[in-house]
Amino acid sequence: MKTSIFVLSVLFSSIAVAQNNGLHQFKVKTLEGEDYDMASLKGKKVMIVNVASKCGLTPQYEDLQKLYDLYKDKNFVIIGFPANNFLSQEPGTADEIREFCTLNYGVSFPMMEKISVKGKDMHPLYKWLTGKDLNGVLESDVQWNFQKYLIDETGSLVKMIPPKQSILDQSVYDWIEGK
């Protein structure tokens, strides 16, 4: 009996972690310095991706924009977080990042202020994304620029997609479409 109660206690604690500390608890800033409340994303599937302008993976902006254009009116959003954690591949200011993304890739999905996605100064959102003790789902390290995290409509982490894996993979479409 004690074992069953302990197992249920652990299970409910894990569920509480995932629900109470989900994506919707965070507030961030846009590239323009405006407040952005992640609670505004309740009911939407979200892809969070750390981006950089001077990386070999930077052309992924094109596929991110294609995916966003296809599903932006179907309760799906992509949020880009510029980060300069990997070989200083995002050295630009907010204005330079916005100009680069707009001119080169037509980026229209929300872009947030530059943050740190690893190390001692890691942003709290990325602590949640990468820490199983916080997200209740998986432990991960941000491997490089353009690592993607999928979050469901309730704000719970679902999956991590490695930097080099295409987001135009059928499994991503299936997840967005609920298949």
Q: Are 134 and 56 in contact (CB under 8 A)?
A: no
Which tokens is 150 given? 């999928």
The C-alpha atoms of residue 108 and residue 100 are separated, in whole angstroms, by 12
- Give CB contacts under 8 A, 24+ apart, made by 172-176: 172/67, 175/45, 175/150, 176/45, 176/67, 176/71, 176/74, 176/76
Query: Which of the residues 29, 54, 55, 152 is marked catalytic?
Result: 55
101 is known as an active-site residue: no
Residue 48 DSSP code: E
Residues identified as active-site: 55
